[in-house]
Chain A
Amino acid sequence: MTGPQRASPVRRLGLPGLAIAALSLLWLALGSGLPLLVAGLLLLAALAGAIGLRLWPDPAGRGAAWVPLVVALAVLSVTTPLTFLAELVAGLGGIAVLLFLVDDPDRLPGGLGRGLSTVALPAVAVGVAWSSALLLPPGTAPIGVAAGVLVFALAVVAFLLGRPDLFDREEAATS
């Protein structure tokens, strides 16, 4: 199979998503409970890994460039003490990963514009969740509610993964 022509190095990096992810990582690294050196090294490793994989000649490697970002965000989010801004920054980090995916150098240019509909729904959900967390009284109850909602969402998504035909338009009986 023939591969597509390689995009320019700047476009291949997926700068908007990478920049937001880097800012989120930096914020979490500065606030995390990890030693600053370890957190800094983790941040640098994640960015270097994402950039390195994006520039990788093999398409399979380029497709996995988001993995280092998610791993670093996960580690730093777990080790960061709870503040209302930390929740927002973690959510932004997730959205940044999606922006990074949408700006795929192996696809035709303009993916960022075309992919806004894919990013918009999760972004709204993060906004709603964060404002709820901000407005609801502190305690463990909201975590339970959020976890319940997430478990439900996960079950729905798992069901949909098994039944992709549910997204198909049903053919008319007379057609």
Chain B
Amino acid sequence: MNVFPVAAPSTLRWRSRTFGLLAAAGILLVIGVLLRDPIPLFLALPLLLAPLAAALSAPRENPTARLDWKEEGAGAAVRISGTIRPESTVRAGDLVVDVPLPRSLVEVAPAERGVQDGAAWFRATWRAPEPMIALVPAPAVVWRDPAGLVERPVDGISGDLVVSRYPPELLRLGSAHLDRTTVLPGETRSRRIGASGEFFGIRDADPNENPRRINWRATARSGRLLANEYALERTGDVVLVLDARPTELGAAVDERLLSITRAAAEGVAQSFLRIKSRVGAAVYGEFLDVVPLSTGRAQSFRIREAFLRAHLAETPGPSERCAIAMRRYFLPGVTTILFSSLADPPALSLVSHLRRRGYRVVVLSPSPLPLLSRRGRLPPEDEELAERLTRLVRRSQVARAWRDAPAIDWEEYGSLGGFVEFLRRPASRRVS
């Protein structure tokens, strides 16, 4: 994330339109001289001088402006709005704002722009079709002359925006039991209050409070029913591994799946960090990019940054490399949630390699099926048959993953209910 604005090189840029005008003027000039006809010369004169006039009207150095922008909207709706206030003597109307659209978002309507109170405003309406987390870089702002012949970059535009949409079930994930990797996992206690653990405090009892939790001595002293509260122990550690290698599905589907996966992984990490569990993260493309186990607010930022940086690798690394590299950072036995589409043999082999290295793996596999749209090349019956075959292939892939680790097929991207329930019921986590 850009914290400090980086000044663009202070240079006037000629636009392609300038070269077009000059080429036309040059041709007219040659024709006029060859034919000894001044009329084409008169036509050429304005075209020849316009770039010069535009350059003279440009500011002599890069103008500066201040960006104020925010993300609004809920659910699938994403609304980006902001203002750009010039700090130099340039007119806001001459600023050209280009808001980059992240690949995981869809444009609903063309961006609106205008000028109000000496500032240029813009409003973009996008849609998040699936859960996602994306970094929206600060808009590219240039000063451009009204004829569009020259431009200068505008300095001072900084501050990326993070747009995130998480599956809503993640709030319940904190109650899942995690395995410890060390006997004394640390001195940091959980933030969760519950019925067992270290004594935390006394509160008014509920009408149907369990009698075992009533503090009878305090009740006798105060004359009203009071109950004990306990600070739960931290449950353990979890490592989130993102498989960011390209698969047979193609770059477009892989990108969307990675975007969904990043959102889920980030949401899961925040859920566990909220209850002070130790969370580690790893992104595996060609090599392993790791955030070691830790907890707290700083760790939350570190993991967020790591997931925002995660991108699809150009060259896939071998699965064994990931498992070997994992051992350098994480002790075996730690609960490991692997986010992988399981779409090809290398993705499947990663599960077995991690298991063989001693990691207790749970696979959350975003299904590519909702993203594979019908192409319309086949008759409807054949399309249906192809869809059924694809579904069978998918089931077979998930079943093969189950040989090594429990794998949850995540097809309804809007809900992580199945995964949360799975983690909360330790009995179902055993693999035969």
Residue ranges of A at the interface with B (Cβ–Cβ < 8 Å): 1-6, 63, 67, 70, 73-74, 77-78, 80, 82, 86-88, 90-91, 93-95, 97-98, 101-102, 104, 107-108, 110-112, 114-115, 117-123, 125-126, 129-130, 133, 140, 142-143, 146-147, 150-151, 153-154, 156-158, 160-161, 164-165, 167-169
Asked whether, in the complex, the Cβ of A108 is within 8 Å of the Cβ of B147, the reply is: no
Task: Identify the interface centre among A86, A88, A91, A167: most chain B CB within 10 Å of its CB.
Answer: A167
Task: Identify the interface centre among A91, A94, A112, A158: most chain B CB within 10 Å of its CB.
Answer: A94
Given contacts A161-B19, A167-B56, 5 further A-B pairs with CB under 8 A are A3-B111, A77-B28, A82-B39, A94-B46, A125-B45
Residue B50 CB within 8 A of the other chain: yes
Asked whether, in the complex, the Cβ of A114 is within 8 Å of the Cβ of B61, the reply is: no
Contacts of A167 in B (CB 8 A): 12, 55-56, 58, 60
Asked whether, in the complex, the Cβ of B53 is within 8 Å of the Cβ of A118, the reply is: yes
Once A90-B42, A107-B96 are accepted as A-B contacts, the answer to whether A82 and B37 lie under 8 Å apart by CB is yes
Asked whether, in the complex, the Cβ of A73 is within 8 Å of the Cβ of B113, the reply is: no
Residue B35 CB within 8 A of the other chain: yes
| Residue from the list A88, A110, A118, A147 in contact with B147, Cβ < 8 A | A118
Asked whether, in the complex, the Cβ of A63 is within 8 Å of the Cβ of B148, the reply is: yes
Tell me the smallest distance from the CB of B72 to a CB of chain A, in Å.
16
Alpha-carbon gap, A76 to B115, bound state (A): 41
Once A165-B12, A168-B60 are accepted as A-B contacts, the answer to whether A88 and B42 lie under 8 Å apart by CB is yes
Asked whether, in the complex, the Cβ of A129 is within 8 Å of the Cβ of B42, the reply is: yes
Tell me the smallest distance from the CB of A125 to a CB of chain B, in Å.
5
A contact face: mostly helix, strand, loop, or mixed:
helix
Alpha-carbon gap, A91 to B47, bound state (A): 9
Asked whether, in the complex, the Cβ of B124 is within 8 Å of the Cβ of A90, the reply is: no
Contacts of A122 in B (CB 8 A): 45-50, 53
Residue B112 CB within 8 A of the other chain: yes
Asked whether, in the complex, the Cβ of A117 is within 8 Å of the Cβ of B46, the reply is: no
Asked whether, in the complex, the Cβ of A78 is within 8 Å of the Cβ of B39, the reply is: yes
Tell me the smallest distance from the CB of B393 to a CB of chain A, in Å.
36
Contacts of B107 in A (CB 8 A): 2
Asked whether, in the complex, the Cβ of A101 is within 8 Å of the Cβ of B147, the reply is: yes
Contacts of A143 in B (CB 8 A): 32-33, 36-38, 41
Asked whether, in the complex, the Cβ of A74 is within 8 Å of the Cβ of B55, the reply is: no
Some 9 contacts from A to B, beta carbons below 8 A apart, are A5-B112, A74-B24, A94-B47, A102-B147, A111-B146, A122-B48, A122-B50, A151-B29, A164-B11
